[in-house]
Amino acid sequence: MDSQIIESLIADLKDTRQRTLALINDLNSQQLIGPMLDTVNPLLWEIGHVAYFYEFWILRNRHGTHSFLKNADALYDSITIAHNDRWDLPLLSLDETKSYMQQVLDGVTQCLQSDRVTEQDIYLARYGCFHEDMHTEAFTYTRRTLNYPAPELANCHFNRKQYNAGALDGDVEIKGGEYLLGAPQDIDFCFDNEKWQHPVTLKPFAISRAATSYQQYADFVDDNGYSNKQFWDDESWQWLQSNKITTPNGWKKDNNGNWLIKQFDQWASLRPHAAVIHINWHEARAWCRWAGRRLPSEAEWELAASGTPDNINEKRNFPWGNEKPTENLANLNSYAMGTIDVGALAEGDSAFGCRQMIGNTWEWVEDTFNPYPDFVADMYGDYSQPLFKQTKVLRGGAWTTRARMIRNTWRTYYGPERNDVFAGFRSCAL
């Protein structure tokens, strides 16, 4: 095995664990449990679950070792433990949970450094790392949902001048054609829902150069967008009415009538050119109807991110090319602790001139989450399959997303009602 690959992977495992702990270390015992909500887990349970994932798939399933806990399955198996039951489990203390997490990390590290390591071990360890990365994003939105303070994370830049770059208006026109949607079979790693590349035919389309900004969305809200039924389809209107929604999640006006936006447990003035976030699929479509536009299809989004004008199937791993993300290319890794101006980071443009298609905010597309042709579930069968036909697709990653895991073909998915996650959108001309 390539020792550099293994050492890099071990470094990633340690890094994601540091992020996990940084997101919970300042919380008290009550905060680590929190209220029972459909959209969050008890954090004390969730951090144990991410360690269990490695132990179950690598140490136990691959190498036949015994669990470090006698009741690990009864505590942390997310497939068999109903969501609402997770608050009533006999959970370990925080110190005991951290000890278990460290035992698992040490065990996986020893496995990767041993003579018996296999390609399957490396694949599963990377899978586990990305699984933990996805949970650290969930830990972050959980803190906002529960009004906990902003986490104190290393290497963050709150007010870098390059982030305050203003608006970026206009569309880019893409001629369409037969495009290969999905991941190529020679990719180092991808999830089952990205497999495999297959042809789709796209008509010419025009897609916005940037994601929708707070000011653009505020114009819709101020134009009575949340009380005018003509902008909402029946399902979306029902969601709006049944939940008594009159503004976006985390918006309120100050005494002078100016919008304030909730940032964790604080309120801050609306930043007009930053990408709007915490918008759900229903709201994104309503804005599009108000603006005389539409959401892109999943294939249109991926083409705009990955193709080139000369050859739409000369697919790049990232909008700017195949170089891994850096701070000058994408707002990832919680660098900015929020969305930045949609006109920032021009170096990260796609070949068509679309900006920030990776990072800043997850972007809703029109499509329902469905399998690609000839889909076969990976070893973790519940990663994609239970959510097909029920959820909507998002692309591109957010400011919280870890740079090591995102790419142009990555698909994530949430229910269309989820306005608590780090999601916004860009639009297409009709």
Residue 159 reports pLDDT greater than 90: no
Cβ contacts of 119-125, under 8 Å, gap ≥ 24 = 119/1, 120/62, 121/58, 121/62, 122/1, 122/5, 122/6, 122/9, 123/189, 124/54, 124/57, 124/58, 124/62, 124/379, 125/9, 125/13, 125/54, 125/58
Residue 63 reports pLDDT greater than 90: yes
Could you give the percent of the chain with pLDDT greater than 90? 96
Calculate the average pLDDT of the chain.
97
Map out the domains of the chain with their CATH numbers.
Answer: 3-145 (1.20.120.450), 158-430 (3.90.1580.10)
Confidence tier at 130 by pLDDT (50, 70, 90):
very high
Q: What is the pLDDT of residue 162?
A: 86
Q: What is the pLDDT of residue 362?
A: 99
Confidence tier at 176 by pLDDT (50, 70, 90):
very high
Contact 413, 387 (CB under 8 A): yes
Q: What is the pLDDT of residue 160?
A: 81
DSSP 294: E
Residue 176: partners with Cβ closer than 8 Å, 6 or more residues away: 201, 202, 203, 204, 205, 303, 312
Q: What is the pLDDT of residue 161?
A: 85
Q: What is the pLDDT of residue 13?
A: 98
Q: Which residue has the higher pLDDT, 156 or 411?
A: 411
Contact 174, 350 (CB under 8 A): no
DSSP 288: H
Confidence tier at 261 by pLDDT (50, 70, 90):
very high
Confidence tier at 28 by pLDDT (50, 70, 90):
very high
Could you give the percent of the chain with pLDDT greater than 70? 100
What pTM was computed for the model? 0.97
User: How far is CA 176 from its chain centroid?
Assistant: 27
Q: Give the tens place of pLDDT for each residue, 282-313.
A: 999 999 999 999 999 999 999 999 999 999 99
Residue 152 reports pLDDT greater than 80: yes
Contact 211, 356 (CB under 8 A): yes
Task: State how far the Cα of 42 lies from the Cα of 87, in Å rounded to an integer.
Answer: 6
Q: Give the tens place of pLDDT for each residue, 195-230.
A: 999 999 999 999 999 999 999 999 999 999 999 999
Q: What is the pLDDT of residue 154?
A: 85
Contact 4, 383 (CB under 8 A): no
Is residue 81 exposed (0-12), middle (13-18) or buried (19+ Cβ within 10 Å)? Answer: middle
Q: What is the pLDDT of residue 417?
A: 98
Q: Give the tens place of pLDDT for each residue, 306-363.
A: 999 999 999 999 999 999 999 999 999 999 999 999 999 999 999 999 999 999 999 9
Complete edge-to-edge strand list for the sheet that includes strand 205-208: 171-174, 205-208, 428-429, 293-294
Task: State how far the Cα of 75 lies from the Cα of 90, in Å rounded to an integer.
Answer: 8
Contact 122, 5 (CB under 8 A): yes
